[in-house]
């Protein structure tokens, strides 16, 4: 797998990207959400080479995004199912989908939609909200060091703040 190591960057975005590995991973997860569970079904639907698929499925089992089950003991056929960690990638898939719907396809041309099985309605646009549940405009969002930030990250943020101060000065 031609993965770049991004874990020198002190940030969950970099670590998540590193663990997700590559785009195939997310497409396999999408297929698993669709109910696909066997090697042959993943393979025929994604049109992915068998050795790459083997590699990715093994990887996803290793990092606990999928679990490998053998539903019948009299056959060697495995099934792959999402774990809680894997299912928790749904907001990420929804974010990718909504961005593509908006900027690449446009309204009324969405190839897929995500629906709530109870209401049969499409889900709403993902919104960044504050802890009171109110939407926060994107222009109001800022990053800052979290409780687990390294000393280096804290220093970098100080430098950024300094840079903005200098820039804002006349």
- Token reading at 125: 């646009």
Q: Mask 28-57, x = binds a copy of itself (CB under 8 A)?
A: --x--xxxx--------xxx----------
Q: Which of 10, 67, 78, 81 forms a contact with a copy of itself (CB under 8 A)?
A: 10
Indicate whether 100 belongs to the interface with a copy of itself (CB under 8 A). Answer: yes
Rounded CA-CA distance 122/118 in Å is 11
Indicate whether 166 belongs to the interface with a copy of itself (CB under 8 A). Answer: no
Indicate whether 9 belongs to the interface with a copy of itself (CB under 8 A). Answer: yes
Longest dimension (CA), the chain: 77
Indicate whether 69 belongs to the interface with a copy of itself (CB under 8 A). Answer: no
Rounded CA-CA distance 16/12 in Å is 6
21 touches 59 (CB < 8 A): yes
Rounded CA-CA distance 147/79 in Å is 39
Q: Minimum CB separation from a copy of itself for residue 88, in Å? A: 6
Total interface residues for a copy of itself by CB under 8 A: 89
- Token reading at 110: 């969405």
Indicate whether 17 belongs to the interface with a copy of itself (CB under 8 A). Answer: yes
Q: How many residues does the chain have?
A: 170
Indicate whether 75 belongs to the interface with a copy of itself (CB under 8 A). Answer: no
Indicate whether 165 belongs to the interface with a copy of itself (CB under 8 A). Answer: no
């Amino acid at each position: 797998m031609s993965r770049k190591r991004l874990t020198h960057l002190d940030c969950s975005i970099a670590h998540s990207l590193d663990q997700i590995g590559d785009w195939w991973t997310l497409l396999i997860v999408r297929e698993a959400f669709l109910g696909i569970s066997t090697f042959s079904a993943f393979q025929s639907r994604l049109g992915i080479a068998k050795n790459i698929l083997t590699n990715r499925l093994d990887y996803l089992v290793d990092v606990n995004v999928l679990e490998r089950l053998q539903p019948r003991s009299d056959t060697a056929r495995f099934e792959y199912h999402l774990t809680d960690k894997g299912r928790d990638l749904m907001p990420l898939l929804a974010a990718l989908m909504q961005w593509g719907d908006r900027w690449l396809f446009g309204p009324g041309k969405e190839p897929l939609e995500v629906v709530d099985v109870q209401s049969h309605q499409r889900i709403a646009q993902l919104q960044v909200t504050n802890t009171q549940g109110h939407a926060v405009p994107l222009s109001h969002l800022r990053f800052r060091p979290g409780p687990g930030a390294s000393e280096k990250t804290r220093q970098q943020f100080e430098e950024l703040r300094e840079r903005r101060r200098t820039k804002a000065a006349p």
